Structure 1
Amino acid sequence: MTPNDLFDLTGKVALVTGGSSGIGRMAAEGLVAAGARVLIASRKADACGAVAAELNGMDYSGSAEGFAGDVSTEAGIDALVAEVNKRTDKLHILMNNAGRTWGAAIGEHPYQAWEKLLSLNVTGMFHLTQQLLPLLKAASTPQDPARVVNVGSVMGDIPKGTQTYSYAVSKGAVHHMTRVLSNDLAPEGITVNAIAPGPFVSKMTAFAIGTEEGQKKSAEGVPLGRVGCPEDIAGALQYLCGRGGSYVSGAILPLSGGMQSNAPGSLFNEDL
């Protein structure tokens, strides 16, 4: 075995939901770069096709293909699973990335926001995973289990965020669902882990860190002093999905520059 073998995904088939932009796009590129055949799905088929074409035009050993897939409804999940089954009889990697956010002040947070957020971020994630279990089991071997990687958030671990109550709670649920599924699926030859990103530039976060000024301001609250970059996501996926991560399950991997364990100040406020 060489060091590169630990992260080589040649011959693996992956599905990335919400893969046409943001963290999903970063992950898809990392998987293609490592040699995987990556199925990119989101509600916008054209956007997925464009990203797949872009990735296929790069000097990577893997490949990509994009198509429409909606994880927010039961019918949408059924259609997505049917499409995946048409394209492959084994699924080595499932990245549950599709999600949405919502922000409103306390006292003004609408009831429907909770319903919409949890139906996609939690319910949709669970049911898509459940329906794809036969393909994941078919891809698993004793030494190389199939992988499920859920996208949580640092806000699922610590009470930080801009009035994103439903989003933060949904990501806390994703983290615990990851542990529960890991407990049940590890004996089936499937690892289940989550990444918990901090601030990364994407369409979802453009309102806050879409500019250099916004990124600089956000970085002040990150112990490592910067916002996340695509390589941070790509490297994490290559590790969790490669041979090097085959003995990891039930983990919530923080990708937040130390935010998850940051506790400013001292317990007794002494001068240091």
Structure 2
Amino acid sequence: MIEKNIYYNIADLQLEVTLAQDCNIETLLPNFEPFRVEYLDDVIISCRIVMSSVDLEFNSDESKLLSDISIVWGDRFTFHEDDDYYWTLIQYSQDKTKHWKMRSSKDFKLNTVFSGDFESTKNSFISWFFMVAFAQSALLNRCILIHSSVVVDEDYGYAFLGKSGTGKSTHSRLWLQNIPGISLLNDDNPAIRIFEDNIVIYGTPWSGKTKCYINDKRPLKGLVRLKQAPFNLIQPQKSKDALLALLPSCSAIRWNNSLYSTLVNLIIDLISKVQVAELQCLPDAEAAQMCYNELRKDL
């Protein structure tokens, strides 16, 4: 099979995708198009898409089931480990033997996605597989993929975290409606790079239900964990409290001690350089203004 390589720059890190020459990547991954580049630098993550009737060989008897819990895929999802690889499986048919699969090296730098009986209208699984691979491999480049909604002004980025249903997108919308000069950067999974003298937040191809695929970045001014309340109150979070505020929203394989330890160390570095706060709030303009004022009070 004749193949081609396509490159994407995500958070100033390069992702290489290898796929069949006749495959239309614009149709397959439209959310990636704003990030497409010519080859620029060292590739940190390689993902090969296999669209054929030849299955990837996966033996459940020789692997360990690590997880069968997924908010996105429900009971169709399983995650396994064998001696050489991690395996991510999503059942796509009533036939329980049929799965979309991703086989990943233990550092997630090399990944092969098997598309199974591929349907172009159901290609979101490929983007999701790539997100899983990127989130793990990027950690080795001091980059964290974090579940949050992010708004920006001309100078900074502001990230809102919380459990599903807490109101992250609603709070972003309140900033857009009530604070001049604010725009949305990403509404689900932005990336944060921790540099020695700067923290930068980036838009990514993964923005949940909101089609906001913006290839842009800002210095990160603050991270705010939201909690619904019958009042508005913002409180700075330090040390252990700040770590616990961020950790549940960050993507890392808990069963890989090396990657998970890297994540924790990156968060410790992050909270030493960027404001972290908890906002107990109503879904109103006052909450947005209070949050904005707190994050910018030292300017």
**TM class, shorter-length:** under 0.3
Select the structure with the greater relative contact order (CA < 8 A; seq sep ≥ 6): 1
When the two structures are superposed, what TM-score results if normalisation uses the length of structure 2?
A: 0.25
Higher strand share: 2
Q: TM-score, normalised by structure 1?
A: 0.27
Higher helix share: 1
